[in-house]
Amino acid sequence: MDVLDHGVMLEDAGDETYVVPGDLKASYMWLRVGVEKDMPPKKHLPDGMPADEIAVLKKWIEDGAPEWRGSYERPFIGEEEVLNDIANHLFNSGESTSRKFIRYFSITHLYNNPSASDRDLNLYRAALSKSLNAMSRGSVIIVPEAVNEQATIYSVDLRKLGWQDLLLWEEVVARYPYGLKPIDLKQRQYYDKISELYGPVAFDGFPYIRADWFVVTATRPPIYHKLLDIPATLQELYSRLKIDPEENFKIETAQRAGMFESGVSGQNRLVEYHNGGSFWISYDFKSDAGRANLALFPLGPKFDSNEFNRFSFEHDGGEIIWELDNGMHGYMLVAGDGKRIDAGPVEIVFDKNNTSGSPLIVNGISCMACHKAGMQPLVDDIRNGHALRFNNQAAQKVERLYPPAEDMTRVLDENSEAFHSALKKAIGPFFDADTNLLRLPGPVSFVATEYDKNLDIIAAARELGFEREQDLRLQLSGRNILQLGLGPLSEAKGAVKRAFWESSEAGVSIFQQAANEVGFGSAAIGTASE
């Protein structure tokens, strides 16, 4: 265990979670160090850990175990090396007819940042692979190929993801705020070589895109919907996946669990499973009153041939999770009328972890974070808690649609096994073979959280290609760069917000303007069809 890695210390491991912020009794580390005092081992510290150090540990846990910044120095990788590696790989990737489908992702700026641990970097790599496969139209898991020895540049053949229509990729890069054309002559030679290898038509102007940006941007609408080809309505999705929920309700192959409260809603919620490819849908409500009360109206939704319409609920929205061809999960959010929406209204559902940057549950990214290990466990309150027991026919219908807990658990377990198998193929290669992947932080949510943090002078320097932050600090005294609003970076503990860093005027981001001012590169801007 790397005790310098804050994330590792806080990983959920049940009774053996090393540190539970604010809770000494639940912190396994405190049990071993502060109570039993058998750690560190006597052979290393015969007299035990000094009392003052134990007191520091105690206070740190009681204060909520705030994050610290470690220092992980690595040999710096410059932009010239990145472009050279990409040019060489592209040259060896076959004819131009194949090259035009190759795209590159980079975590080099993170590798160069000494605050990113090796485990962090592996989570970034895993997040890239998971997000690509969670938006893939292909039938097999595709693990991105490392291009360089340090594994900071990865390549993907878009055809293997079912994204061979390059207009799809144009939709991605049209929103890219970090695209640059090198100013340095040597770097520009490699850039031009890459352009030549792609050909004038196929080259979009971006030798690579940043993996962290891709993970937090492509997994949101509108790009998420376009890459995964999610239809505009629930009915279209039913038709595409050959799911007939009304028929399954009537013949009682649908299986349900209704709960009076859930982790994403203060109202009651119903989750329904349809076999034939692992298809789950939730029915969500703005309130628990009237026909939104599942105890009183458990036999919805209303439809023409539903003989129990007088006991049918009226819902306000829902979330759909289904198995993709490669075993990963796709997600869709809908309003009560079945039309696709980008985010769930907070009065119906909310994300307490703020994965999207707010309590909004945003389709794609929020769902991947919440369901990092697949479907959440379900507890049913309706089978034994409904109010229809004095109507024999309706009561029997409830019993057949809302199975005993052990039956629903079995369905969940079977679905989870399939998802875990696909997940292991997608992210397992980035961790040791004995790593419990389900105990890791969700890679996508980890990247989303880290990405949304303010940029300090170190992060900004690495993103602008500086090996030393002092070199950027010297540039911050210039009038033009100060006029960009980057003055706070020169102050002690100063920082700028990510949203500001990416904000644009006339299509050119603050980052791109800053890069031009410091001589790192001029703006390269994508285009997309409407």
CA gap 510, 484 in Å, rounded: 7
- Written as six digits, the tokens of 494 are 């100063």
Give the number of other Cβ atoms within 10 Å of residue 4's Cβ: 14
- Spatial neighbors of 484 by CB under 8 A, at least 6 apart, are 510, 513, 514, 517
pLDDT at 32: 87
Pick the closest to residue 101 from 165, 194, 175, 146 (CA basis).
165
| Three-state helix/strand/coil letters over 289-315 | CHHHCCCCCCCCCCCCCCCCHHHCCCC
What three-state secondary structure class fits 146? strand
CB environment 268-282: b (16+ within 10 A), e (fewer):
bbbbbbbeeebbbbb
The per-residue pLDDT string of the chain (530 residues; one tens digit each, 9 = 90 and over) reads 556 567 677 777 777 788 998 888 899 888 888 888 888 876 556 677 888 888 888 888 987 887 766 678 899 999 999 999 999 999 999 887 899 999 999 999 999 999 999 999 999 999 999 999 999 999 999 999 999 999 999 999 999 999 999 999 999 999 899 999 999 999 999 999 999 999 988 999 999 999 999 999 999 999 999 999 999 999 999 999 999 999 999 999 999 999 998 888 889 999 999 987 789 999 999 999 999 999 999 999 999 999 999 999 999 999 999 999 999 999 999 999 999 999 999 999 999 888 998 999 999 999 999 999 999 999 999 999 999 999 999 999 999 999 999 999 999 999 999 999 999 999 999 999 999 999 899 999 999 999 999 999 999 999 999 999 999 999 998 899 999 999 999 998 999 999 999 999 888 999 999 999 999 999 998 754 43
pLDDT at 530: 38
Amino acid at 414: E
pLDDT at 69: 60
Spell out where 162-215 has E strands: 180-182, 209-210
CA gap 289, 311 in Å, rounded: 14
CA gap 479, 501 in Å, rounded: 18
- Written as six digits, the tokens of 482 are 């100060």
Report yes or no: 150 and 109 within 8 Å, Cβ to Cβ: no
CB environment 438-476: b (16+ within 10 A), e (fewer):
eebbbbbbbbbbbbeeebbbbbbbbbbbbeebeebeebb
CA gap 76, 93 in Å, rounded: 27
pLDDT at 510: 98
Report yes or no: 320 and 279 within 8 Å, Cβ to Cβ: yes
Q: Which residue has the tokens 């009076």?
A: 260
- Written as six digits, the tokens of 373 are 């290990």
Spell out where 212-328 has E strands: 255-259, 269-274, 279-284, 317-323
Pick the closest to residue 86 from 102, 97, 98, 110 (CA basis).
102
DSSP state of 339: B
Task: List Cα–Cα distances, 91 to 94, 145, 147, in angstroms.
Answer: 7, 15, 12
Pick the closest to residue 91 from 227, 198, 185, 240 (CA basis).
198
State phi, psi for 272 to the nearest 5 degrees: -125, 135
- pTM equals 0.88
Tell which phi-psi region holds residue 465, choosing left (phi > 0), alpha (psi between -120 and 50) or beta: left
pLDDT at 529: 41
